[in-house]
Structure 1
Amino acid sequence: MSQQENTKLALKYMGFLNTGEIDQALALASDDATFWHPLSGAVGKEELRITLKHAFGLMLTINNNVLSTTAEADRVSLELEFKADLSNGRTYENQYHFMFVIKDGKIHSLKEYVDSGPAKAAFF
């Protein structure tokens, strides 16, 4: 796939998450894809599905705003702002950096970089 096609795939993934369509987002990933987060480390697709469904169940509204995209070879980098109103009455706001590796038209790996402080304050 071209860098432009890879970028479209990464944006499509984020678009699905923005509307809470977790299964559709994960359908864009290979079955052996890995997902890394600073709090959980590397997990597989099914473990991420469970984690996302739990987290999204706590969110009343979701809005992610992509600030920038950069693509090179099989990698796509997205910088975004995220905001969610939570069922506990709090608002979660944070900035994220996602690094996608795309192979054969599927997300092969995804690393999520985020400040864990705002997440802990909002969710816990």
Structure 2
Amino acid sequence: MSTPEENIDLANNFAKIFSTGDVAQILATLHPEASYWVSGGIDGMSGTYDREGLGALLGGVTSVYENGALEVTPTAAIAQGDKVAVEATSYAKLKNGKVYRNQYHFLFEFRDGTIFSVKEYMDTKHAYDIFYA
């Protein structure tokens, strides 16, 4: 079992890899049975995904970013046992000229040194306005 400090490093590394837009590398950070949950009620975005489903979601959304990636920057983290809570911000310029800047709270759970589950809480109105409105 990883220490809380090691888990914070793993969560921060996830943000770094996520920010590259490399879907295969992002998925490689996840446990084979991982789940990824996105808050809200936005069709095509919110809900629970397995690794394959998350890959499909990310593959679609990264295509709308000007540089192919959403930059996620952790701003604070706290860990206890196998869980890490992270506050973060994001930035991406879309090909249509809109700018996506959101604030997040992520809850990571680790198993076997990999990410077993992620819960992503964000400003869903902002996400809807930028991607769907």
TM range (shorter): over 0.9
RMSD over aligned CA atoms reads: 1.1
Quote how far apart the aligned CAs of 1:100 are.
Answer: 0.3
| Within-5 A mapping of 1:1-124 | 1-38=2-39, 39=42, 40-61=46-67, 62-124=70-132
SS in 2 for 1:59: coil
User: Which consecutive unaligned segments of at least 5 residues does structure 2 have?
Assistant: none
User: Which consecutive unaligned segments of at least 5 residues does structure 1 have?
Assistant: none
Write out the 4+ residue segments of structure 1 that deviate beyond 6 Å after TM superposition.
Answer: none
**Using the alignment, how far apart are the partners of 2:31 and 2:52 within structure 1?**
11
Scaled by the length of structure 2, what TM-score is found? 0.88
Q: Which moved more, 1:41-50 or 1:55-64?
A: 55-64
**Using the alignment, how far apart are the partners of 2:22 and 2:11 within structure 1?**
14
| Contact preservation (8 Å) 2:85, 2:108 | yes
Quote how far apart the aligned CAs of 1:22 are.
Answer: 2.0
Quote how far apart the aligned CAs of 1:24 are.
Answer: 1.0
